Structure 1
């Protein structure tokens, strides 16, 4: 099945923008049908547990799943996807459409307001996008707004986005992404990231929930927002309490003992397997789309541009040799018990346009490693071995299995004496700051898609001002990204997406490793757990 996203056509409304993403378009829920008596106080208080830390509640200052998990509950979006689908439709917008190839016009619903009583108008919408572009925080999602030229608010309920390139095939999805939360201009700073305390104190919320109490990465309490007027409807529970656990073992104990109702990110594969045998809980699997990869800092990696031995050809040889030594299948099987699968491309398998260039270009040509090929690449480039690799990873954000995963990579990379690998682990909040400040030459990252389209695996990574901040700069790739974003012919667009994957596979800005699924473990009496291809975990439909 091909995916045709015809957003660029003049006058096309958001209601026509169905997104179908093959195996990614499924939906898993803890109940097929709700019993009709959930809602409001009848839904009870839902206790959620996670190890996925928050870096910032300010949309301009974070681009990670732990932070976005909170934002999804408290901020509204112009466009969003309803439960069980990745299809984009108006949220607090009344309508949204292209009124010219480079103008996207949104009409807001009447009577919108924030929890603090401030009116939510087009001025707040303009402010939300203008400040994100202006702040351009390295840990934020400003890279998603690369095609935005300007925002106008001609009246209180009208917003006009002017785009640099016409026929943008992904702009409506950008409005539902981490770049899209609408915030209160009377609470947030126009030119700096606003602190969590200021946001909570200012009650700058207009989503399905407001934050009732907040202890950073310890406990967040939510209560339904009676003034939410978006498309998702009112919360079906009376409150939600989210506890942040230091590690997966404590999270597993909490859900297994019934101390919490929902465990979502990040249990180990062994934990999930064990919990499947616990008759007090149910394991809910959702469509895949998460990917794991190693990022190379082009300035500080071996032979990087700002190292004493700078040599781009040798740096490329190092990246290629590592790609030749990888045995993804062994890690997927031995570490993750096949809950992850090998990834041989930059676009998640099953997404329209996904190809497997890494399988063809590196290793034995069939997904396995080839140490002789790795040695030849280094020798041909004049690289003396062993090369020292300082490789950073994180266990609290990406799960406790990360330690075993990266120990396996260390063994693989050191095969044949080509590399000496120094592994180091850092706590997530510090890690997220360091990795965008040139602290780590090579480091682990994961990706949870913002929207169900191949572009989301390409443009955030490979535009010049990308969120990786790894100094990768390929003008040909950047132009191809513009081309695929603005190509209205589905077949041609998929062809360009394939060309991008081939080009970046040669450069190896990142080294894709594995692809995973969404997993939640919930109590037997919990209903409404919805894991779908929007990759947003919503608390509002949860009841017990």
Structure 2
């Protein structure tokens, strides 16, 4: 992640924001890709959801250290092993001025779990939502399910009145070309509003001065421009055409770091990249004689030990990845250090295991 120094100065000035010292800024964001749609239920992809999180909000959200905290819901409790009760925040307004209530939550949950919704799998245990009163909602799941709050962090709430007025109660699907009013228009409760959008060219966000929460930034405008060419994006950073990019090629980091006008911020992603064995009875269905060799644990272990993960980390990933034996990253709640181990690279041992397996 790289950022120009003058923007860093603005970020550094955030501590003075409460005193009214910091000057508002326009952030020119050169992104590595376009968002799929303005409808947060249209495409189950992390980048699109993270960008739309500037506009829409969920009942709960993650803090910077990945702890769950209240958002549109102020508190919650379980009233039975399968029913969660959420107490909603009062006084919240959608960008068009409509009041946020329980009706919006129920309509949004029904929309995102609709059979045609691309995001229905993001709420795998959801059964139903019931309005208790204007600011209380019960969510029923299909069994005891401790991960509901995690799932709800990327389920954003839309305005029911707005959806009804614009015939947008049903979800869209950008992958299948299914669109409605929500594809190109927004009405959230979040810290930014969409001022304008030209797909594949630029989307402009402006600060929502009526946001219920206190902003932790001094940005009043975001000009989001997708620049899919890595070379063009890096050139735009170096020339000052953009202030920020969330995606810089590994091979260009030394050049960006060397620039006096650019600050490079590096961190491991939460994503784990791994390979999966084909565990079918046969590798090829038409094969009538041989069984799948991956069924033999010794074969799987041999391939594991035959990959020099440290060499991949140093040469392919240029030292910027982390070799792991766990699917869960250290920053994610639930990470267990004792499980984050892998056997060392052992080519001779791998050959021996393959010989034993025939």
For normalisation by structure 1, the TM-score amounts to: 0.54
Distance 1:196 1:283, change over 3 A: farther
Q: How many residues align?
A: 336
1:236 equivalent among 182, 199, 218 = 218
**Counterpart Cα distance in 1 of 2:355 and 2:341:** 18
Kindly indicate whether the alpha-carbon contact (under 8 Å) linking 2:58 and 2:156 is maintained by their aligned counterparts in 1.
yes
Is residue 120 of structure 1 aligned with residue 103 of structure 2?
no
Counterpart of 2:199 in structure 1 is 216
Deviation at 1:334, TM superposition (A): 0.9
**Counterpart Cα distance in 1 of 2:276 and 2:106:** 33
Distance 1:342 1:357, change over 3 A: closer
1:81 equivalent among 62, 77, 83 = 62
Is residue 181 of structure 1 aligned with residue 156 of structure 2?
yes
Deviation at 1:91, TM superposition (A): 1.3
Q: What is the root-mean-square deviation in Å for CA atoms of aligned residues?
A: 3.5
For normalisation by structure 2, the TM-score amounts to: 0.79
Counterpart of 1:48 in structure 2 is 29
Q: How does 1:38-437 map to 2 (within 5 A)?
A: 42-82=23-63, 84-135=64-115, 137=117, 140-166=118-144, 168-176=145-153, 178=154, 180-185=155-160, 186=163, 187=166, 188-190=168-170, 192-193=172-173, 198-199=181-182, 201-229=184-212, 231-233=213-215, 236-264=218-246, 266-286=247-267, 288-294=269-275, 303=283, 307-309=285-287, 313-314=292-293, 316=295, 322-349=303-330, 352-356=335-339, 359=342, 365-366=343-344, 368=345, 370=347, 373=350, 377=354, 380=357
**Counterpart Cα distance in 2 of 1:207 and 1:47:** 20
- Structure number with greater Rg is 2
Q: Which runs of 5+ in 2 are unaligned?
A: 1-9
**Counterpart Cα distance in 1 of 2:346 and 2:226:** 39
**Counterpart Cα distance in 2 of 1:349 and 1:378:** 36
Q: How does 1:462-501 map to 2 (within 5 A)?
A: none
Residues 275-332 of structure 1, C-alpha deviation per residue, up to 9 Å, x if partnerless?
Answer: 2221112122346523223456778x9816xx43388744546866653432221121
Counterpart of 2:7 in structure 1 is none
Runs of 4+ in 1 over 4 A off after TM superposition: 37-41, 194-197, 295-299, 315-322, 354-358, 374-379
Counterpart of 1:534 in structure 2 is none
**Counterpart Cα distance in 2 of 1:38 and 1:208:** 20
Kindly indicate whether the alpha-carbon contact (under 8 Å) linking 1:40 and 1:236 is maintained by their aligned counterparts in 2.
no
**Counterpart Cα distance in 2 of 1:70 and 1:44:** 18
Q: Which runs of 5+ in 1 are unaligned?
A: 1-28, 360-364, 382-544
Counterpart of 2:12 in structure 1 is 31
Counterpart of 2:6 in structure 1 is none
Residue 151 of structure 1 aligns to a residue whose secondary structure is: strand
**Counterpart Cα distance in 1 of 2:129 and 2:98:** 21
